[in-house]
Structure 1
Amino acid sequence: MTAARAALAGAIADLAALDTRGTGIEDLLALVIDSEHATRTLTGLGQTWLHRSVNAGAFTDTGLTCADALSGLLHIDLPDARTRLRRSMLLTDQTTLTGDPLPARMPGTAAA
């Protein structure tokens, strides 16, 4: 886990350090496409990780609602935190109270 997180941070730092002022249009557009793909992929993964964190009780000891705790953790406004929590519930597999698995409510979007 630590190595993967460090590799991600390193890759982002490498990209941020690029001097693209003299880069050709094709390479610039490739960077735009790659960054969009990475953003979408990380957003989807983040939804899964957020949902698992909430289910594991990440915010239960804070004395706050999940949305309030997430807002503080990520330094985002409360409506955005609520949206992220709702989205995480739509895009990830659920479990019934009896432990039976339920598929994501939006499986096509979740798969994308």
Structure 2
Amino acid sequence: MGVSKKEISPCPIDVTLSVIDGRWKGTILWRLLDGPMRTNELRKSIPEITERMLLRHLREMTGAGILERHQEQGLPLKVHYSITPYGLTLVPVLDALCTWGREHLKRDLAT
């Protein structure tokens, strides 16, 4: 039986995946590695994502301490996101996932 997202699994892999799972979270993190981006810039850099899903993932990763939301005063309201120092500890994990994914794609293409 699977573990619901509200339950805490004692497995470190499950804990990690619970923070970065989601169709677009890896892509969002990858984009933000180049530096802070406004919400609209992120949306344009990932054309397939809906605004609702982007905001949901940004909110979840901000809640997990992976991202920071910066809001500038004034009109129009300017909001941008950046990776926190804690979030940067995920870089080796993302690199390993990317490397494995590339190898898996090659394997799939070979069959």
TM normalised by structure 1 equals 0.31
Structure with the largest fraction of helix: 1
TM normalised by structure 2 equals 0.32
- Give 1 or 2 for the bigger CA radius of gyration: 1
